[in-house]
Amino acid sequence: GENVEQHPSTLSVQEGDSAVIKCTYSDSASNYFPWYKQELGKGPQLIIDIRSNVGEKKDQRIAVTLNKTAKHFSLHITETQPEDSAVYFCAASNNARSKLTFGKGITLSVRP
Amino acid sequence: DTAVSQTPKYLVTQMGNDKSIKCEQNLGHDTMYWYKQDSKKFLKIMFSYNNKELIINETVPNRFSPKSPDKAHLNLHINSLELGDSAVYFCASSQGMESDLYEQYFGPGTRLTVT
């Protein structure tokens, strides 16, 4: 089955700097890659996703890039703010029964 | 106007008891899911239902029994609770199972503590 690795496990950046979170996946048939943000005591919130027919997608300060050859995708957050501090999960799906396989999550801390 | 809601938010119970968690979505979605998040924050799919039909059952002990009375509801009943069942359980829903429809939206979670 699919295996999603996420690294690093923690990331600390200064407010205003950029943050990059990387994930790798194992199943070359995977074609959907969402990113979720989870704040303390809340459910994961879908923040951006990308499908395999696209190499990059942007939404304001957030962007995701996909390299299908290398089987990795990354979340880029620019001009980080303290409210960006949260746990971020990447996931992948090969469209089989819409099953998502999640990475282990990364804790992002933005220092004011 | 909550999209995916779960009750209760917290559940503390003793080993051996039977308990249920309820989930409702008002998004008009066809597919609903149960996930378990362990103490290390790892999120793992347990079940999914599409139009009240069980689609995914990820080798979950048969003490866990999901029930979908209609498309908007997916409940999780757990028999003979064990210490290892302590976790946060999330319900999620998606418009469907086709590739352009399966963006999943999560509920707020139910923190289950078994003592």
pLDDT at B26 exceeding the cut of 80: yes
> Residue B31 pLDDT more than 90?
yes
B93 part of contact set with chain A, CB < 8 Å: no
Show the DSSP H helices in chain A as ranges. none
Mean pLDDT computed over B48-65: 89
Q: Kindly state the average pLDDT of the residues A88-105.
A: 89
* C-beta of residue A101 within 8 angstroms of C-beta of residue B42: no
Q: How far is A87 from chain B (nearest CA, A)?
A: 9
Q: CA-nearest residue of chain B to A33? A: B103
Quick check: B103 and A51 CB within 8 A? Answer: no
At A96, the pLDDT band (50, 70, 90 cuts) reads low
Residue B46 has pLDDT above 70, yes or no: yes
Please name the residues between 8 and 37 in chain A that touch chain B, using a CB distance below 8 Å.
31-32, 34, 36
Q: Is B1 a residue whose pLDDT tops 70?
A: no
Nearest Cα neighbor of B106 from B1, B10, B7, B23 is: B23
pLDDT surpassing 80 at residue B2 = no
CA distance A49 to B75: 28
Between B35 and A95, the higher pLDDT residue: B35
What is the least distance, in Å, from the CA of B5 to any CA of chain A? 10
Is the alpha carbon torsion for B45, B50, B53, B55 positive or negative? negative
Tell me the pLDDT band of B109, cut-offs 50, 70 and 90: very high
CA distance B93 to chain A (A): 11
Instruction: Judge whether B31 is closer than 8 Å to chain A, CB to CB.
Output: yes
Task: Please answer yes or no on whether B107 and A97 come within 8 Å at the CB atom.
Answer: no
Sequence-ordered list of residues with C-beta below 8 angstroms from that of B89, at least 6 positions apart, any chain: B6, B21, B34, B35, B36, B37, B76, B109, B110, B112
Q: Say what the pLDDT of residue B57 is.
A: 87
B107, A43 Cβ separation under 8 angstroms? yes
Q: Do B43 and A46 touch (CB under 8 A)?
A: no
In whole angstroms, give the CA distance from residue B3 to residue A98.
Answer: 20
A10-25 residue pLDDT tens: 999 999 999 999 999 9
Q: Is A74 helix (H, G, I), strand (E, B) or coil?
A: strand
| Cβ atoms within 10 Å, residue A33 | 26
Q: Which residues pair with A11 in a beta bridge?
A: A108
pLDDT above 70 for B99: no
CA distances B110 to A98, A101, A112, B6, B38, Å, are: 23, 21, 32, 7, 12
Phi, psi dihedral angles at B84 (to 5 degrees): -70, -10
Which residue of chain A has the CA closest to B109?
Answer: A43
Is residue A73 very low, low, confident or very high in pLDDT (cuts 50, 70, 90)?
Answer: very high
Mean pLDDT on A50-68: 93
